[in-house]
Structure 1
Amino acid sequence: MPDRRRRTPRAPEGDLPAAYSSGWPTLPAPAAGVRRRDRRGRGLRGPLIPAHLPAARTRAERFDEIVLATVERLERSWAKQLAGTEFAVEDVPPSDPAPWEHRRGVPMGRYFPADGPLAHRIVVYRRPVEERAVDRDEIAEIVRTVVVEQVAHMLGRSPEEIDPGFVEGP
């Protein structure tokens, strides 16, 4: 197939700078992160949603806020018992489930007892919760269920004692 690009006229070899020695002009490499185009006169593209608006948060940030709100609500009633307990969010559970989790499917949360210098820790797994939920309200309900169940396990109490409005979850 013939080359359809137009060649620039060639000057004698001795008269051209090194960049033009092949007959094709070369452009300098663009600076990193510099926008060079303003298509159709509308200006350079900007962010769709400014970073200070709530809609600019990621799913992970919204999930963290749901877990934090759930924990804060529980701490109002159980502050003394939950003092020093760490709450965390991880994307997915580790690939080696605990022996009691083997037949129950993918865990949505896990309680790790204190071990030496490490404090009690409750972890909520974001992706399994999001996969089971239909919308944001259901995510909040599942998170509430998971956190209440794990706190109840940690304190050796029933979930209904921890949260009187507790409803058995997924």
Structure 2
Amino acid sequence: MEHRRRTRDRHDRGMRGPAVQARPGARLPRGSRREQFDALVLRIVTDIDARWSRRLGLVEYAVEDAPLIPDDWTDTVPLSSLVRGSGTTPTRLVLFRRPIEHRCEGRAELEAMVLTLVVEQVAELLDLPAHEVDPRYGPADDD
């Protein structure tokens, strides 16, 4: 019986998995898209919450893949949700990752979109103009 060197997998697709290496000098992604998005949200939320936590009180920040919307929904898909707390229930600010990513073409646009959404929701909670919540928002962006 002759042993031949296998260059293809059993489905004849070529080499897969850890044996395949990236080009020298190529940037490897750090974590999944979900992990990268979560890290971005955490960075922005931490900065804003540190600045306003006394006035905000208890706020839960969350990221979900997509909102649950009814089949007969005709509006655009929401990018975030803000549910005010009552009594012992904390206020909950949720960002929806997939609709946000779908509207952004690159990393810079994604960062700007997440910052805008968080700042606008926190501004609504504090009843302040958005540019006062975070100077990166810019007064020209206010309604």
Determine if the TM-score, normalized by the shorter chain, exceeds 0.5.
Answer: yes
Relative to the length of structure 2, the TM-score reads: 0.72
- Provide the aligned length of Structure 1 versus Structure 2: 122
Q: 1:39/1:66 Cα in 2 relative to 1: closer, same or farther (>3 Å)? A: same
Write out per-residue CA displacement over residues 58-83 of structure 1, whole angstroms, 9 at most, x where no aligned residue.
10110001100101111232131234
Relative to the length of structure 1, the TM-score reads: 0.62
SS in 2 for 1:129: helix
Structure 1 runs (4+) greater than 6 angstroms displaced:
none
- Aligned residue runs from structure 1 range 88-99, under 5 A: 88-96=62-70
Q: 1:74/1:58 Cα in 2 relative to 1: closer, same or farther (>3 Å)? A: same
Work out which of the two has the higher radius of gyration on C-alpha atoms and give 1 or 2: 1
Please tell me whether the aligned partners of residues 56 and 125 of structure 2 are also in contact (alpha carbons under 8 angstroms).
no
Could you tell me which amino acid in structure 2 is paired with residue 112 of structure 1? V
Shift of residue 145 of structure 1?
Answer: 0.1
Distance in 2 (CA, whole Å) between partners of 1:135 and 1:44 is: 28
Could you tell me which amino acid in structure 2 is paired with residue 120 of structure 1? T
RMSD, matched Cα: 2.8
Partner in structure 2 of residue 153 of structure 1? 124
Shift of residue 45 of structure 1?
Answer: 4.3
Partner in structure 2 of residue 119 of structure 1? 90
Gaps of 5+ in 2: 8-14, 22-26
Distance in 2 (CA, whole Å) between partners of 1:70 and 1:47 is: 37
Gaps of 5+ in 1: 1-37, 97-101
- Aligned residue runs from structure 1 range 60-75, under 5 A: 60-75=34-49
- Aligned residue runs from structure 1 range 40-59, under 5 A: 40=7, 45-46=17-18, 55-59=29-33
